[in-house]
Structure 1
Amino acid sequence: MKYREQHIDKVLFMFVLALMFIGILLVFSSTVYIANLKYDSATYFLENHILRVLIGFAVMVFFIVFVDYKKLKDWAFYIFAVSLILLVLVLFIGKGTAKRWLVLGPVSVQVSELAKLALIIYLAYLVEKNAHRLTSFKLGFLPLFAVIVAVSGLIVLQKSFTMAFIVFSTGMILLFLGGVRIGHLSVGLALGLVVSALMLIIEPYRFQRLLAYLGFEDARQGVKHQAVQALIGLGNGGLFGVGLGHSKQRELYLPLAYDDYIFSIFGEEYGFIGSLVLIFIFFVIFYRGIRIAKYTPDEFGKILASGITFVIFLTAVVHIAVVSGILPPTGIPLPFVSYGGTAMIVNCASVGILLNISKQIKH
């Protein structure tokens, strides 16, 4: 038997590394002012971010080299069950006003980030296992839809509507790719739209964000301020940008400039051309991920690769759309670029799995 050398998708790997490098530059640029002000150290945030990037890179390599993605099928239920328990647990003992974080000693974990990957793994397992009955509403669609609703519903209770939307949307895409009937998906989507509308209306801060987006003058000024300052940052950048380290919006004009609104800082410093390059990088990652899914020999790998690709791409699209004023103001980090621990590590683990799947494709 001839030994076939296995290769990862080098294009995907290099473009993800490029995003991580861009993130290091941007986090330093967007935090140097506030770090000096709050911690009397220009590199306070940068040092934390580099540590997280290194951990993320190590996790990515671990999944590429040591974890055969097919083995995840054996652990899919347990991974999902643990993520559900953590989602419930964080509602009772979670930290922060929105109860999104579990604090374990010196480490804070955003449980919803773990849950989105756990859901993708479990859905991939269920789609492959139940392939013969996915066209049935009662035996195929409903059980899988219930799994998606359970996760996205628990995330909504953490007041993380945007994350819930991304998780729900990714889940429905995976059901479509798995072969669930369009009519059944339409029922689920209609239910999701109704619940989303109710969530927007009954939660005051979400309703204020919607009013600000629609341009109502009496909408809360704090919400408008965030959206307006993000657009000012993009406008300041012009065609070619003001240059690395010359952003004005980072000087406390734009809240969370290093996290939920980091694309605004990028647009200001690198301009419209730079922004197009960054968007292009995400499209290349999306294309390579879909290509991996297309040529993966087994159904579990196809759905798993598709889920990872879509969740990263949708997160990037929502982040950029919010900063650009296309969507209402909300908080979601830009994958591999924004400051953050759990998101960085989970995204790196996800890409590690995706690259592990790419090794199984015949080159």
Structure 2
Amino acid sequence: MSNGPTPHVARAWDWLTGTHSTKSAYWLILGPTLALTFIGVVMVLSASSVEDIGGAGSFASLRSQGVYAVIGVALLFWMGKWRRETYYRLARVMLLLSIGLLILVFTPLGVEINGNRNWLRVAGFSFQPAEAAKLAFSVWAAYALSQKLKLEGYGKNLLVPVVFPFGALIVLLILMGRDLGTVLIMLLIIAAVLYLGGMRSIYLAGMAALGLVGVVVATLFSSNRMLRIEAWLGNCDHASDPCYQYEQGIFALASGGWFGVGLGQSRQKWSYIPEAGNDFIFTVLGEELGLLGALLVLGLFITLGIGMFRVAYNTTDPFVRISTGAIMTWLLGQAFMNIAMVTGLLPVIGVPLPFISAGGSALLMAILAVGVVLSFARQQAQELHDATVRAQTPSATKESVQSTQ
């Protein structure tokens, strides 16, 4: 009776972790990121081309999305060459800057959109500080824990300063802006950071329960959120028709079939689906590109996750492991929540689809987050290559000496 894994399981695990490939993680991260960004720009053009946003024309969203995509990709390749020591130096600055931007939301510079006050608008440009906070916290928390674990080891001490005060402060500021969807993503990031930092399961479960209670309370004290919960449970008997957006999204997905109705040919985007270019863009994608297009996007997210998992698995540096795991949890968790939302598995909570949904600041921060992990993958591959060369050099020298003799 065998006690170890079967050869098939062992081979599958070796492939998943990329144990025998030093460069695969880099391309598994870069390829899906570029593909998802391109698909996102195309779908934003398609979904928003039938609307005149603020009198700026039907291609306003494309121009904004395209500019942020170009800037993001340029920064992606630049950041991909950074060393992890650069993030050590930037971690505190990123955290403090993101908190400062979140506070500015409650000044005259802040703008309220769809009931949420989570935007800054300066000189005609708008930015969502909560998106920057996701990246800043992921990098800073990983750095703080990596330094703390060297001195104090594992245990409940991980709560300070990651959860208290900085994690709690960021969550509170976002919650004050009434953006519960982003709060949920931040809680996911905090949970991932604590888990990868080695927090004991009992403490992690307690933190999860506390977070769940907070989300429930925030939902109960909001009539709009309660209406969404009732709609998700099938109670559509309300003057505002809370099931309308979800039902139109399902109609769009259903009418797409296997191959879709054709790029740009969506019928539901003609003012039938609210936020067609943003939170519900996946329904337009499913209608125009069909099930195969939807599966392609899912496959790209899975591939991106595999690449990031390889980086986190094949490192001995806790900073790389924790920050990569936090970013992977953020991007894949948000993608899952968005797709589950538009397909009715979760209530409508206003979470955009990373790389795909309209929103320049969200797109830019997602690309920069990938840039962080991409730099880890490049440096990791270089270190493994150098180690292999050093391991082979003595034997090669010995063989050369023997052949000379």
Q: TM-score normalized by structure 2? A: 0.83
Kindly provide the amino acid, as one letter, of the partner of residue 29 in structure 1.
S
Output one character per residue of 1:161-205: Cα deviation in whole Å (capped at 9) or x when no partner.
011101111111121111111111111111111111100100111
Matches of 2:86 and 2:238, distance apart in 1:
51
Contact in 2 for aligned 1:30/1:250 (Cα 8 Å) = yes
Contact 2:185 2:333 in 1 (8 A): yes
1:87 lines up with 2:106 in the alignment = no
**Counterpart-to-counterpart distance in 1, 2:80 and 2:59:** 31
Asked if the contact 1:296–1:357 (Cα under 8 Å) also holds between the matched residues in 2, the reply is: no
1:264, distance to aligned residue in structure 2 (A): 0.3
Indicate conservation of the 8 Å contact 1:28/1:43, yes or no.
Answer: yes
Compared with structure 1, are the counterparts of its residues 136 and 38 closer, same or farther at alpha carbon in structure 2 (3 Å cutoff)? closer
User: Are the aligned partners of 1:260 and 1:319 in contact in 2 as well (CA < 8 Å)?
Assistant: yes
Q: What is the one-letter code of the residue matched to 2:62?
A: L
Structure index of larger Rg? 2
> Does the CA-based 8 Å contact 1:7-1:359 persist in structure 2?
no
Q: Residue 68 of structure 1: CA displacement?
A: 2.2
1:233 CA displacement: 0.8
**1:125-183 deviations in Å (ceiling 9; x for gaps):** 1110111435332x333532223222122111111101110111111112111111111
Q: Distance in 2 between matches of 1:44 and 1:85?
A: 29
Report how far residue 45 of structure 1 moved.
2.6
- CA RMSD, Structure 1 to Structure 2 (Å): 2.0
Compute the displacement of 1:301 (Å): 1.2
1:124 maps to amino acid: A
Match of 2:210 among 181, 191, 200: 191
Letter in 1 for 2:95: F
Runs of 4+ off more than 6 Å: 5-8
Distance 2:326 2:229 in 1: 29
Match of 2:59 among 32, 35, 43: 43
| Residue in structure 2 matched with residue 11 of structure 1 by the alignment | 28
Structure 1 match to 2:170 = 151
Work out the CA distance in 2 between the residues paired with 1:287 and 1:220. 45
- 2:145 matched to which residue of 1? 127
Q: Pick from 70, 74, 78: which aligns with 2:85?
A: 70
TM-score by length of 1: 0.92
Deviation of 1:321 (Å): 0.7
- In structure 2, the partner of 1:347 is 366
**Alignment deviations for residues 22-64 of structure 1 (CA, whole Å, 9 cap, x no partner):** 11221111112114x8758553332222112111111212211
Structure 2 residue runs without a partner (length 5+):
1-21, 386-405
Aligned CA distance change for structure 1 residues 282 and 8 (closer, same or farther; 3 Å) = closer
Q: What is the alpha-carbon distance in structure 1 between the residues aligned to residue 214 and residue 199 of structure 2?
A: 21
Gap change, CA 1:277 and 1:118, over 3 Å in 2:
same
In the other structure, the counterpart of 2:134 is 116
The separation in 2 between residues aligned to 1:316 and 1:175, in whole angstroms, is 21
Opposite residue 324 of structure 1, the aligned amino acid is T
2:307 corresponds to: 288
Alpha carbons 1:166, 1:315 under 8 Å: kept: yes
2:267 equivalent in structure 1: 248
